[in-house]
Structure 1
C-alpha cells in the first residue's frame, strides 16, 4: 500500500479569497517514492485546547465554551475547526501544496469564539487526513488513505486575527433570532438612527443609566 506522510509547514491568510480563508502549507511524501498520479485529499482540522496554557483574561473569555476553570480537566475537549479538500497533482517522492480552509467570524461557532478569546500565543491543531490516492508504477490503482494519517500544528493566533482584519476590518458579527432583529429594526427606524452601532450604543447607554439609578 502507498505510504503517505503528511506535515503542515505553515499557514497564512488567503489574500484574494471570496471569504475569510487560511492557506495551510502541506508537505506530502510517499515513503517508497512510488509515482503518485493524483490524490483526492480530505482533511478534518480540530482544535486541541488542552494542549496550551491560558492567561487570566483568556480564561474569563472562555467560560461560555468550557465552563468554570475548576471543571476544565473534563471540559477542555477537542473543538471542530473545519473540513477542507483538495486535489493534489501527480508527483514522485515529495510535493508541497496549499490547502484552502474557509473560516467564519460567527461568534456562535465554537471555533471562532475560541480564537477570539485568545490574546496571544498559538492554537494547537490536529489535522486528520483521508481520501483516495491514485498510484502505480506500471499501471493505475486507487487506494484509500488510512484514517490514522494525521499531523499536529501550532497556528499563531496572530495569523487568524490578521485574516479576520483583512476581510472584516474593525468589525464583528452577531447572529440573533429573527424576531429580535425585527424589534431592533423597529427601534432604529423609530429613532432614525443612521447605523447599527448607534442602535447598540444607545441601548447600552440606556442600560448603564438604569443600572446607576
Structure 2
C-alpha cells in the first residue's frame, strides 16, 4: 500500500459560488510506483487561536469567545471549524485536488465570530485528514484507511475571508433574531417611520449612547 502525505497549498475565495465558499487546494503524494485508484477523502478543519497574537481591538471582539485577555491561558483552545469531504480521482505519484470550505457570516457561529474579530494577519488552521484509499490488490482492488496522523497547518490571510464576505454581503452582515425581537423591532420601525431595520437599530443605539453620556 502506498504511503500518503497531504499538504494545503493555497486557499482562495470562490467567486462564482451561490453561497460563501473558500477553496483549499490540496497537494497529495503517494510513494512508490503503485497507482491510487481513488480516495474518499474526509477532512476536519480546526482553528488554532494560540498560534497568533491579538491587538486590543481584536481582544475586545473575542471577549464573548475567550473572556478577558488575562483568562486566555485557560480559555483559548483549538476548536472545530467544519467537516468537509471530496473524492480524489486516480493518480500515480502526486496530484492536486480542490476542497470546498463552506463559510457563513452568522455571528452565532463560533468560527464566524472569531473571524470577524480579526483585523489583520492570518487565521491559523489545522487540517486533519482521514478517509478511504482504493488501490490495486490481489482481487482487482484493495482498500485501506488514511492514517490517523495525516495533517497539515495553514495560515489563511484574514483579508481572504473578508474579501469573501464583501463579495457575498457587500457593506452588510447577517444577524439572526427571535420572532418576538423581530416583531418588536418591526413595530418600533413602523411607529417612527424609519425606512429599514438598519435605521431602527441605529436609532436604538443612538438613544442608548445618549442616555449613557448623561
**TM-score normalized by the length of structure 2:** 0.94
Taking the aligned partners of 2:69 and 2:188, their CA distance within structure 1 comes to: 39
2-side partners of 1:75 and 1:3: how far apart?
A: 37
Offset of residue 103 of structure 1: 0.5
User: For the residues of structure 1 that align with 2:9 and 2:36, how far apart are their CA atoms?
Assistant: 21
Secondary structure, counterpart of 1:171 in structure 2:
coil
**SS of the residue 2:86 aligns to:** strand
Distance 2:212 2:63 in 1: 24
Partner of residue 90, structure 1: 90
In structure 2, C-alpha distance between the alignment counterparts of 1:208 and 1:60, rounded to whole Å: 18
Tell me the equivalent position of 1:198: 199
Distance 2:98 2:41 in 1: 12
Q: Which residue of 1 aligns with 2:80?
A: 80
In the TM superposition, what is the alpha-carbon distance from 1:172 to its structure 2 partner?
0.8
Instruction: Give the secondary-structure state (helix, strand or coil) at the position aligned to 1:160.
Output: helix
CA distance in structure 2 between the partners assigned to 1:31 and 1:187 by the alignment: 66
- Are 2:33 and 1:24 equivalent residues in the alignment? no
Distance, in Å, in 2 between the alignment partners of 1:145 and 1:30 is 11
Spell out, residue by residue over 1:44-93, the C-alpha distance to the aligned partner (whole angstroms, 9 max, x if none): 10000011111222112111111111111121101211111111111101
Counterparts of residues 1-213 of structure 1 (less than 5 Å): 1-136=1-136, 139-213=140-214
The alpha-carbon distance between structure 1 residues 87 and 200, as it changes in their structure 2 partners (threshold 3 A), is same
* Greater alpha carbon shift after TM alignment, 129-138 vs 22-31: 129-138
Q: Deviations over 1:133-176 (max 9, x none)?
A: 11116621121112211111111111111111111111011122
Residues 34 and 137, structure 1, Cα contact 8 Å, conserved in 2: no
Structure 1 residue runs of 5 or longer lacking an equivalent are: none
Question: Normalised by the size of structure 1, how large is the TM-score?
Answer: 0.95
**Secondary structure in 2 matching 1:77:** coil
Taking only aligned residues, the RMSD between alpha carbons, in angstroms, comes to 1.4
Q: Mean Cα displacement is larger for which, 85-94 or 133-142?
A: 133-142
CA distance in 1, matches of 2:121, 2:95: 29
